[in-house]
Each structure stands twice: as C-alpha cells, then as structure tokens.
Amino acid sequence: MDRTGLCREKHAESLSARYEASGKHIAIASPGLGKRRRPSCRPATGLKRRGGGADLSSVDVLLVEDDVSIAEPLVRGLERQGFGVRHCETGTEALEVMDHERADVVLLDLGLPDVDGFDLCRRLRAASGVPIIVVTARGEEVDRVVGLELGADDYVVKPCSFRELVARMRAVMRRTAVRTNEQATNIGALSVDRRTRRVNLAGHELTLTPKEYDLLALLVEDPGAVYTRQQILDRVWDPHWYGPTKTLDVHVASLRRKLGDPAWIATVRGVGFRLQSPDDVN
Ligand code: CA
C-alpha cells in the first residue's frame, strides 16, 4: 500500500474508533481500553476445538486486529456468544498461528502494523480454505473488490454493528458448510474436505497442521499414484524451497502417526510417496 493509502486508512480507523466508542458498534468503550496490552498473540479460548458443522457455538475465530480498543470488546462479545477467539495484533502472528492451529473463520483487519492486509489475505487464502471476513475501515469499492478477489469471503466496513458482524459470520459458515458437502474426497475410511480443510477418519475428525493437510490433500488428488519428493516440495512448500527435504519426512511421519497406520502413506524408495487405504494393502 502506498503512503497515501496508509494515511487514509489510519485516519479512517481513528475516526471509526471514535465513532464506535459511542457504544452500539464493534468497539464498545470500556475502562482501560485505551491502554495497550502486550503485543503478542493472545490465546483466548483458543482454536483447539474441532468439529463444528451446524453447531455455530463451537466456532473458533481468529481475529487479526491491531487496535486493542476495537479488538477487546469484540473478543468479549464473541466469547459471550460462545465463539472461541484467538486474537493476533500483527499479520506475522496470524500466519504463525495458522501454521499450527486451525480456525473456522478469520476476521481480518487490513490496516496492520507489519504487513499489508491484502497481502495477508492472499497468503491466508493460499495456505487455507478458511472463510475470511475482511473487517476494515477501507470502504472504497476498489478495496472491496481487491479484497474479495484475493479470496475474502465477505467484506465488512467499520464501523459496523456487532450483530451484523455475527450474522455475516454465520452466513459465511453456512455457505462453507454447503460447499463442504460437495467437496469431500473419500478413500476407505478417510474423508478429505478441500473446502473446509477438514479431515475425517472413520467418522473422527483429525487435527492436522496446515502443512500436514496440504500434503494429504495433494496425495489424495490421485490415490495410489506416486508423487515424487520434488513434486511434493514444489506444491506443498514453496516452489523455490531449497531447504532440507527432511522437512517432508518429518511431515510424512507426523501424518502417518495421526492417520494411525503407517500403511496409509507408502514410501516408494528413492522416488516419493503414495496414498493408499491400508484396507487395500492388507
Ligand atoms: Ca488496524
């Protein structure tokens, strides 16, 4: 973003924060909100719970918002509604969290201190199918269009009411759930859902890291086919990844452990790996 855009964003955000402090919008004023708390990622109720489906009360939210006067009342409000909330104040923290945990929906502020919000949106979308709602002071049409084209599922302009935001979250989750049913791939007892990035084994949902999921999602594209180590590194990691290929073996090992049977991922010595149902092997 250019300097002008940044200034516009900051100005708009300070305006909206003041407006919102009037009470009925996202940032509800409360004592001490002006004070900055520690800058790191704040696990609230966390993103650990899995499951979900139609039960929206078990939805885990990743909130990426650097303005604590907006974030804190929003976190409290969402928690009161039964959502699990993880709050990050920077894009870097958000990417780290998404690398190790999963969220059901991301609320993403575009004006962040460390990375461009649009860039973060694109990176989150590249790494995950998680629904993303951009929540920002940038209300111009061009910003909305860019946000949606970069993979955001919805776009909310601050200030907006808490009720509207929750309604939009529910709508996004419903749309996601509909797409879920269309996009699952089943191999034996294993079901991999590309849209929601959920994996079920014999009816139980597995907790995978984003990279473990990406690896499994690649192998599941063509069950039984051998994927070379280079193919996997190019597609699951960065095409310009020149780091140790041991990373791949570590992820294969952890995925096998989570699948409960090493036979799910067969090693083709000197070549790569292939996915197969243990039932077909034995
Ligand atoms: Ca901001």
> For 75-128, what is each residue's pLDDT tens digit?
999 999 888 999 999 999 999 898 888 788 999 999 999 999 999 998 888 777
Any idea which architecture 208-281 has in CATH? Answer: Orthogonal Bundle (1.10)
Model confidence over 218-237: pLDDT tens digits? 899 888 899 999 889 888 88
CA distances for 102 relative to 18, 58, 190, 278, angstroms = 33, 13, 19, 27
What's the rounded Cα separation, in Å, for the pair 112 and 135?
A: 12
Of the candidates 23, 61, 22, the one whose C-alpha atom is nearest the C-alpha of residue 42 is: 61
Q: Are 68 and 37 in contact (CB under 8 A)?
A: yes
- Show the beta-strand stretches assigned E in 36-110: 42-43, 60-64, 84-88, 105-108
Residue 108, pLDDT score? 96
6 C-alpha to center of ligand 1: Å? 10
172 C-alpha to center of ligand 1: Å? 22
Task: Give the residues across from 111 on adjacent strands.
Answer: 116
Which residue's entry shows tokens 């001490």?
32
Sketch the domain layout of the chain as residue ranges: 3-183, 208-281
What's the rounded Cα separation, in Å, for the pair 280 and 8?
A: 60
Residue range 3-183, CATH number: 3.40.50.2300
47 C-alpha to center of ligand 1: Å? 22
163 C-alpha to center of ligand 1: Å? 21
Residue 127, pLDDT score? 75
66 C-alpha to center of ligand 1: Å? 5
- Confidence (pTM): 0.52
Kindly give the parts of the chain with pLDDT less than 70: 1-58, 176-183, 238-244, 281-282
* Same fold: 3-183 with 208-281: no
8 C-alpha to center of ligand 1: Å? 12
